[in-house]
Amino acid sequence: MKYLLPIFLIFIKINLTSAQVINPVKWDISLKHLEAEKFELIMTANIEKDWYVYSMFLPSDEGPVATSIMLDSHYQSFGTATEKSSKSDNRIEGYDEVFDMLIIKYKNDLTITQSIRCPDPSKELKGTLTFMTSDNERCLPPVDVEFSFYPNKIAKSENGRIDSLIKTDNPEKDLNASFANNKIKESLVIALKSECKPGLYKNNSNSKHIKSDCNNCICPPGIELCFNDYDKGMAYARLVNKPVLLDFTGFGCENSRKMEDKVWVNEDIKKYLNNDFVLISLYVDDRTKLDSVEVTADGTKIRNLGNKWAVFQKTNFDTQYQPYYVLLSPEETVLNKPRGYTVDISVFRDFLQCGLDNFEKPGKVKK
């Protein structure tokens, strides 16, 4: 058979770069023929300084999203995947207090090798690489990268390389208009230019919660009521006439957990969140599958709730990192400049008070 030639490579290069979008990880994906029906899938991540990619081998799914590879059913992996980096100190392993578990992550570069068996090399080999990356202040949503090879074409290619099919998110194109909210986007332009000198906090001690249909929502410690669905949370905010703290977060985002553990536990902050705001926490790594896969205008596939909230964030706020906090009126007007990670309680308190002041004085953005 013609594909039983010495080592050749099919090569893919994924370059997710954009001036406006954070893409700190670039992948090289190759397929190498070993012998007979055995091939080797090689996936190398080139990681920007101060960013990390999580290992395939995390002890629990209670923390960051582990890197994973999924193949079509007619191709089978065999043996255990291996991980390596160009330098031993690029591999960082240790106990993480936030998740109470052992965490393995890589900086600078990571190469994953997985042996696979192709009984019929004429069939297209399709797969998906999923990975998550973060730095010391930001997390990015899990990324699904679809790759495709025709193994029997390796021997026919010049220099052992051929053009292969690949599908991945294209952050440079506009996303599906169904996720765009013009009222949010228009008011965001004004809010981004505003500065705020918040007034003194006046605790609304008479604030009471009205019964909601969010009994199964996941709320941070100390928070009495929250929502994990945008539409339901906004409907409740209109019902009680309160501003919204829109919290783009992730189950596996360490920086989001640090905010909750170090800032939101503060008594003043808890008063704001329990008395003055409706908290809507949207988890961009929620792997709950949707009833059907939706495809945006640029080809991005929305397979699960996390994909949905990540696209919603990117479309309306031109950001993709977590944690990311937005204060909205019940009418979906951005009340002040959104912000990201900070462990300075006074900074976050001023952020909340600024939005509250602007909500109580509609039409006036404090400067």
Give yes or no for residue 45 having a pLDDT over 50: yes
Give yes or no for residue 349 having a pLDDT over 70: yes
Lowest mean pLDDT among 25-29, 170-174, 277-281: 170-174
DSSP codes, 82-125:
EEE-SSGGGEEEEEETTTTEEEEEESSEEEEEEEEE-S-TTS-E
- Enter the tokens of residue 102: 């052992």
Q: In the structure, what pLDDT confidence band is assigned to residue 21 with cuts at 50, 70 and 90?
A: confident
* Greater pLDDT, 171 or 262: 262
| Cα–Cα distance measured from residue 259 to residue 146, given in angstroms and rounded to the nearest whole number | 33
Yes or no: say if 175 and 325 are a contact pair by the CB < 8 Å rule. Answer: no
Give yes or no for residue 177 having a pLDDT over 60: no
Lowest mean pLDDT among 36-45, 145-154, 299-308, 327-336: 145-154
Give yes or no for residue 251 having a pLDDT over 50: yes
Give yes or no for residue 161 having a pLDDT over 50: no
- Enter the tokens of residue 32: 């190498």
Q: In the structure, what pLDDT confidence band is assigned to residue 5 with cuts at 50, 70 and 90?
A: very low
CA-angle at 245, arms to 276 and 321, nearest 5°: 160
Looking at residues 263-292, what average pLDDT do you find?
Answer: 96
For residue 230, the surrounding DSSP H or E stretch is helix 230-240
What pLDDT, on a 0 to 100 scale, did the predictor assign at position 19?
35
- Name the 3-class secondary structure at 6: coil
Q: How far is CA 11 from the centre of its chain?
A: 27
What pLDDT, on a 0 to 100 scale, did the predictor assign at position 67?
98
| Cα–Cα distance measured from residue 262 to residue 21, given in angstroms and rounded to the nearest whole number | 28
- Enter the tokens of residue 314: 């990117």
- Enter the tokens of residue 130: 């999923």
Give yes or no for residue 248 having a pLDDT over 90: yes
Give yes or no for residue 215 having a pLDDT over 50: yes
What pLDDT, on a 0 to 100 scale, did the predictor assign at position 164?
52
Tokens 């909205």 — which residue? 328
| Cis before 323? omega within 30 | yes
* Residue from 66, 45, 70, 44 nearest 57 by CA: 66
Delineate the domains of the chain, giving CATH numbers in brackets. Answer: 9-167 (2.60.40.1250), 177-360 (3.40.30.10)
What pLDDT, on a 0 to 100 scale, did the predictor assign at position 195?
74
What pLDDT, on a 0 to 100 scale, did the predictor assign at position 128?
92
Write out pLDDT tens, residues 96-136.
Answer: 999 999 999 999 999 999 999 988 888 888 899 999 999 99
Torsion angle of the four alpha carbons 322, 128, 179, 299, in this order, in degrees rounded to the nearest 10: 140
* Residue from 286, 261, 284, 276 nearest 341 by CA: 261
Lowest mean pLDDT among 5-19, 65-79, 151-165, 342-356: 5-19
Which of 147-156, 167-176, 252-261 has the largest mean confidence? 252-261
* Greater pLDDT, 367 or 263: 263
Q: What percent of the chain has pLDDT over 90?
A: 60
* Cβ-based neighbours of 13, under 8 Å, separated by 6 or more: 26, 27, 28, 29
Give yes or no for residue 44 having a pLDDT over 60: yes
CA distance to 6, 26, 73, per residue, from 10 (Å): 13, 17, 21
* Residue from 22, 16, 38, 27 nearest 147 by CA: 27
What pLDDT, on a 0 to 100 scale, did the predictor assign at position 308?
94
Looking at residues 139-167, what average pLDDT do you find?
Answer: 71
* Cβ-based neighbours of 256, under 8 Å, separated by 6 or more: 139, 247, 249, 250, 322, 323
What pLDDT, on a 0 to 100 scale, did the predictor assign at position 213?
64
- Name the 3-class secondary structure at 240: helix
Torsion angle of the four alpha carbons 289, 293, 297, 300, in this order, in degrees rounded to the nearest 10: 50
Lowest mean pLDDT among 44-58, 88-102, 155-169, 286-300: 155-169
Q: What are phi and psi of 110, to 5 degrees?
A: -150, 130
* Greater pLDDT, 172 or 353: 353
